[in-house]
Each structure stands twice: as structure tokens, then as C-alpha cells.
Amino acid sequence: MNSNWHLQFFSGVALDVWRNAIPSEATEGEVSFLESELNLKPDDSVLDIACGEGRHALTLARKGYRVTGVDASRQSIQSAQRISEREALSAEWIEADMCDLPSEGRFDAAYCFGNSFGYLDRPHVQKFLAAVRQSLRPGGRVAIDTGMIAESILPNLPVNRWHRIGDIFMLAEYNYDPSASRLDITYTFIRDGVVDPRPSCSYVFTLAELIELMNEAGLHVIGTYRSVQREPFELRAPRLLISASA
């Protein structure tokens, strides 16, 4: 599997699916969680890592925070920039790898929400967490959202799963490689009779491994949750929300 698979994945029909898969109520709940868990104050500087088209960042900018979004997809960055310019929002958009972050220690808070954290293997997780730590001011906070934590994904792992988003059908086929702690997923998109298969992969860590990696990077864990309602994380929880302080 090409480690840069995600650079080609998010375009066309796949991007249309991701645009429409998450309801606005979910975004609002996640933004409220970020405001509280990151202890955001008016005019704080916030870094959105792997921001996509700005689903969270634009909402935070509309609330008055100074937002910087980083994403490797030029198409996504350009889309977010067009919206922020049209609305005259305080936002900066940077086309860059998620491990390549502004390192001036100028951010009050940072977050990585969505699927992107799972794309990183151990060396890249270490690089990513070190970059996050360097980007934050002392005492700054970070929140990470992932469904690829071992306690979440492995007990519930299906063989395949069908989804329908609008006029698009999507088949996800799963294969776990235990020797690499890697989940390979082939997504097949079907729209208007056109079949478009796209491979992907994500790396799986236990919660204990992730906490250790964050501690090594100088990020001290504050909370681990299964939802934006701050229910405690537990075995078979659908996702992990983990927050830490620099």
C-alpha cells in the first residue's frame, strides 16, 4: 500500500461522499466539545490539522477564533479559502502534510478530527505529535479524534459494510494485517452505474500505546472519551476523543 494513498483518494466521488456523510448537528456538537475541552477563549489562535474543506475550522472562525487550517489536499484548501474569503473570516489555509506544521509555538490550541490520524504509522505518529507539541504555546491543548484505536475497531471489525449517501452507494471491505497493526480498507463507490474502487489503509494503536507516545512528545493526557458528551472511553466504544496539554 502506497503510504501517500490519501493524496489521491479525496477527489471526485469520494470527496462528495465525505461532504455529505456528516450532518451539521454532528459538526456543531464536535465544535462545542472543542471549545470546552481546549479551553478556548475569545480571539485564541487555533490550529486545525488535516482540516479538509474546513468543516470545523470555518465554524470556529465564525465564532471569532483565529483559525489556521493545514491539509495536503489543494482542492480542499482552495475550497475552504474561498468560503472564508467570501465571509471575511479570520482564517489562514496552508497546503502541507499533517506532520509538517507551523512550529513557532504560536497556537493556543490544536485539534485533529476525522479519519486522518489513523493514516499515520508509528514513525509518522511520533513525528506528528512532536510537530503538534512544537506548534503549541506552553499550556496549550490538543484534541485528537480517531476510530482506529484497537479497543474500538478490532472487537467490532466487520468483513464488509454497505453505505448509501444520497445517490452514491459505497462498499467498504476490511482486511486486518496483525503483523503490521494495519487495517486495509477497499472502498468501492458506485454512482450512475460507474464503479470506482479505491484502496486505503489505517494503523491501529492501543490506547496505552497512544498515551505513551503522547507523553514522549511532551503532551500530557487530560481526558479520554467515547463521545463529545464526555462519556468515558471503554472497550468497543465507537471512537476515541483524547485531549492533552503541552
Q: Are residues 117 and 48 in the same domain?
A: yes
Distance CA 97, CA 71 (A): 6
5 closest CA partner among 140, 121, 164, 104: 121
Q: What does the H/E/C string look like for 194-237?
A: EEEEEEEEEECECHHHHHHHHHHCCCEEEEEECCCCCCECCCCC
Q: What is the pTM of this model?
A: 0.94
Q: Report how far residue 140's alpha carbon sits from residue 227's, in angstroms, rounded to the nearest whole number.
A: 22
DSSP labels for the chain? --TTHHHHHSSHHHHHHHHHHS-HHHHHHHHHHHHHHTT--TT-EEEEET-TTTTTHHHHHHTT-EEEEEES-HHHHHHHHHHHHHTT--EEEEE--TTS---SS-EEEEEE-SSGGGG--HHHHHHHHHHHHHHEEEEEEEEEEES-BHHHHTTT--SEEEEEETTEEEEEEEEEETTTTEEEEEEEEEETTEEEEEEEEEE-B-HHHHHHHHHHTT-EEEEEESSTT-PBP-TT-S-EEEEEE-
Residues 97 and 166 grouped into a single domain: no
**pLDDT for 2:** 61
Q: Are residues 72 and 133 in the same domain?
A: yes
Q: Are residues 59 and 157 in the same domain?
A: no
Provide the terminal-to-terminal Cα distance of the chain, rounded to the nearest Å.
Answer: 34
Shared domain check, 227 and 238: yes
For residue range 162-200, list pLDDT tens digits in order. 999 999 999 999 999 999 999 999 999 999 999 999 999
> Is the same domain home to 62 and 119?
yes
- Owning domain of residue 102: 5-147+204-245
Tell whether 119 and 13 lie within a shared domain.
yes
Could you read off the pLDDT of 114-155 as tens digits, one per residue? Answer: 989 999 999 999 999 999 999 999 999 999 999 999 999 999
CATH of the domain at 67: 3.40.50.150
The predicted pLDDT at position 1 comes to 61
Which residues have a Cβ under 8 Å from the Cβ of 54 and sit 6 or more positions away? 48, 69, 76, 79, 80, 83, 84, 91, 93
168, three cell numbers = 452514491
136 and 234 co-located in one domain: yes
Give the model confidence (pLDDT) of 54-76 as tens digits: 999 999 999 999 999 999 988 89
Residues 202-209 have a mean pLDDT of: 97
Task: Indicate the pLDDT class of residue 15, thresholds 50, 70 and 90.
Answer: confident
Identify whether residues 57 and 163 lie together within a single domain: no
pLDDT for 156 equals 87
Domain identity same for 176 and 221? no
For the chain, the domain total comes to 2
Mean pLDDT of the chain: 94
Q: Express each pLDDT in 93-115 by its tens digit.
A: 999 999 999 888 999 999 999 98
Pair (31, 111) in one structural domain: yes
Per-residue model confidence (pLDDT) at position 88: 95
Q: Specify whether 17 is located in the same domain as 126.
A: yes
Domain boundary at 185, 201, 217, which? 201
Average pLDDT over residues 39-53: 96
In this prediction, residue 12 carries a pLDDT of: 87
